[in-house]
Structure 1
Amino acid sequence: MPTPSRTSLDAITTAGVEILETRGLPGLTMQAVARAVGVKAPSLYKHVRDRETLVGLVADAAATDLAADLEEHEGLAGLAHALRFWAAAHPEMFRLVFSGRGSPEVAVAAGAPVVTAARDLVGPADKLSAARLVTAWATGFISMELAGAFQLGGDVDEAFEYGIERLSVALSGR
């Protein structure tokens, strides 16, 4: 009779998310997760093939968390503010979500609120292009903000509002 598992995929993923947020992506190792869930590293391989698979699981968990947060907001401005707030609270998860290392299915689910908001502004034919434009602007702005890259002075919050307003006007054709 096989020995019962001393951990689970959910526990491994939860520990991975916690490690990511406290130690960054370089700290997200099989050994660190094994210690966090109370097993030896080789035991993780019963649940997770390798580190890249672990990173993908953590990316999917982060994207799922973001999706749940975004579902509570509507419209371009509401979604952009929610993304910015979530990124400030979870900077390492933010970076991982937009690294392309998660599954496409989870990414589609996480992006659904943005696609819906884009559709409401531009119609169904251009919704994906508009969603990509908004996402690229927002993630670029937020990435620069997290890195402390806005060095020219001025109010960063005002700049964020300006970007949301200009994108909304441009996409709605007003």
Structure 2
Amino acid sequence: MFSQEKFIKALEYAVKAHGEQKTPKGLPYLTHITSVTMEVIHACEESKLEVEKSNLAISCALLHDVIEDTSIKYDDLYVDFSESVANGVEALSKDKTLESKQEQMKKSIEMLLEQPYEVQMVKLADRITNLSTPPEHWDNDKKKAYVKEASFIYSCLKNSNIYLSKRLEEKIENYKKYIV
């Protein structure tokens, strides 16, 4: 299992940090956060992860976008949670100082490969959640690039969790129906 207290603390922190942010579909951002976390919780349960490993994975899932999308910094997470949570969330965050999306993804994967499997799991869960119906304004090239990026994430992080890897592989295959 995992600690309900740590879950609630990270959830409340993420909700406050993301404030009124919305998903591309116009839903409260909490929808995305909890969807990613649900994938991670399921994988932790299926894998029978130890409590502390589950706590790290779930905390990072709830907080995975706070450095990238809010005013929260690494040091805030270090003080408010732990070094391992701060390191995990930092590795899950794109470095927006890098010019191209490819450079950002490459650096993120490099950082994630230095993290424990339970942090890597969050990246798989995030992409699983994001591989739903693409936005209407995306053209075919954007959809192809997105599935290629998902395949890259899968190839690099598939060993982190068998359940999430299988689920991501299925989502990638299903997503291809949107490519003409």
Q: Between Structure 1 and Structure 2, whose CA radius of gyration is higher?
A: 1
Question: TM-score of the superposition, structure 1-length normalised?
Answer: 0.34
Question: TM-score of the superposition, structure 2-length normalised?
Answer: 0.33
